[in-house]
Amino acid sequence: MKIKIYFLILVFSSFLAFQAEAAKKIDIKARTGILVDFHSGKVLYEKDADYEIYPASMTKIMTAIVIFDLLKKEEISLDEKFVISEKAWRMSQSGYSSMFIMLNDEVTVENLLRGVIVVSGNDACVALAEGISGSEEEFSLLMNEKAIEIGMTNTNFSNSSGIPDPENYSTVRDISLMSHYLIKNYPNYYKYFAETEFTWDRTGGEPITQGNRNPLLYKKVGADGIKTGYLSVEKYSLASSIFKNNRRLIAVASGFETKNSRSKQSTKLLLWGLMNFDTVEIYKKNQILSSLDVWLGKKNKVDVYIKEELYITIPKRKKKNISAYIEYTGPIEAPIKKDQKLGTLYLYYQDELIETHNVYSSEEVKKVNLFSRVLKAFNFLVWGDV
């Protein structure tokens, strides 16, 4: 049985078609890149998105995620202090990006996080990794476990900072998934990525103030993260995100020839996404979607919902109707449990299937007593009335 659902939403064409068309309208001067709508998850642009790269300091996004997970579980706290080892201290002396921590100093998790996120400190990465797992090698196991959980299928982390290592690799598609996970699951901690400077009031020396290396934060276009990268073999890279008019886009690209190109091309890609597409929420999480027929229940209908928010990304100024159906075997015989899967929601553009979602009961429906069941059965046989 099918029930047609009407959404007050309009779209231009199928997502496969508009992605192909959109890709023809813009290109960026990078080796590989991707642009994704945060809410709908739709890829608006991609260029060799599965090409293997060395993620450089974009690796630090995963380092932060592992720390945020531990903070959420209350296994560590922001004011907990880690002792700085010689290995971590030497990262401050070797010409890498650093927050300039001191040997044997005790530094809070929060300061180390800001050292990682804002000033891209490799020394802070090592200090966090050692404070959590005892060694950077052990910490990288946590990073890889998390990558698998997120769905990063072409990634391996061998260190916490992204310093050169052939075993530390990823793709822009995987990095976009990682960035999405961070922003969605840790919006409060994600605010660190928007800080334009960090002052480290170090022990035994004058305070050091450094600016955020993400150039898009200074452009006033709505960018609020997330992480730059550079390796001589990979050139310049950037994972970036923009939030404007309740829309969020995530762009990741690598292989820019210069810092200036990285800044201009990333801005170009993000603004192109904002100007050419809209993202519309057509279903709020856990709201009532429709009502389905019930057989032999104390109620004749059961309200149903889907567990996910539902967004559609549409090209601007070119709109047509989409259709939606709930398919289920019905009428559904009682008893029905709350949150029981009852059917499937299908979203179409014309004859093309766009998405499917499971449909669940929003309530419990008990079976009627024996007398009522006999009466309903009689009515059905005589009148066809269920």
**pLDDT tens digits, 303-345:** 999 988 888 887 775 445 567 889 999 799 999 999 999 999 9
Residue 65 has pLDDT above 80, yes or no: yes
Looking only at the bridges linking them, the beta strands covering 106-108 and 81-83 are antiparallel
Find the catalytic residue in 57, 179, 241, 362.
Answer: 57
- Nearest by Cα to 298 from 358, 380, 371, 383: 371
- Nearest by Cα to 109 from 84, 79, 135: 79
Q: Which residue has the tokens 């890279």?
A: 237
Q: What is the three-state SS of 169-217?
A: EECHHHHHHHHHHHHHHCHHHHHHHHCCEEEECCCCCCCEEEECCCHHH
Local confidence band at 20 (pLDDT 50, 70, 90 cut-offs): very low
Report pLDDT for 15. 42
Q: Which residue has the tokens 């769905």?
A: 151
CA gap 52, 336 in Å, rounded:
49
Find the catalytic residue in 85, 120, 170, 263.
Answer: 120
Asked whether 101 and 107 are in contact (CB, 8 A), the reply is: yes
Find the catalytic residue in 60, 98, 160, 227.
Answer: 60
Residue 96 has pLDDT above 90, yes or no: no
Is 140 annotated as catalytic? no
Average pLDDT, the chain: 88
CA gap 188, 184 in Å, rounded:
10
Asked whether 81 and 108 are in contact (CB, 8 A), the reply is: yes
Report pLDDT for 3. 67
Least confident among 28-37, 93-102, 148-157: 93-102
Amino acid identity of residue 182, one-letter, is: L
Cis-peptide, bond into residue 335, ω within 30° of zero: yes
Residue 7 has pLDDT above 60, yes or no: no
- The 10s digit of each residue's pLDDT in 345-359 is 998 766 778 889 999
Report pLDDT for 309. 87
3-state secondary structure of 142: helix
Q: How far apart are the first and last CA of the chain?
A: 15
Average pLDDT over residues 144-152: 98
CATH 2.60.410.10 positions along the chain are 2-11+284-383
Residue 14 has pLDDT above 50, yes or no: no
Distance of CA 58 to the CA centre of its chain: 15
Is 57 annotated as catalytic? yes
CA torsion angle for 183, 189, 193, 195 (degrees, to 10)?
140
- The 10s digit of each residue's pLDDT in 184-231 is 999 999 999 999 999 998 877 789 999 999 999 999 999 999 999 999
Is 290 annotated as catalytic? no
Average pLDDT over residues 124-128: 97
CA gap 63, 42 in Å, rounded:
26
As a whole number of Å, the CA-based R_g of the chain is: 26
- Name the CATH topology of 31-280: Beta-lactamase (3.40.710)
CATH 3.40.710.10 positions along the chain are 31-280
Asked whether 113 and 65 are in contact (CB, 8 A), the reply is: no
Report pLDDT for 249. 98
Report pLDDT for 385. 52
CA gap 42, 69 in Å, rounded:
26
CATH architecture of the domain formed by 2-11+284-383: Sandwich (2.60)
Asked whether 126 and 87 are in contact (CB, 8 A), the reply is: yes
- Nearest by Cα to 117 from 173, 179, 174: 179
Average pLDDT over residues 150-161: 97
Report pLDDT for 173. 98
Residue 381 has pLDDT above 70, yes or no: no
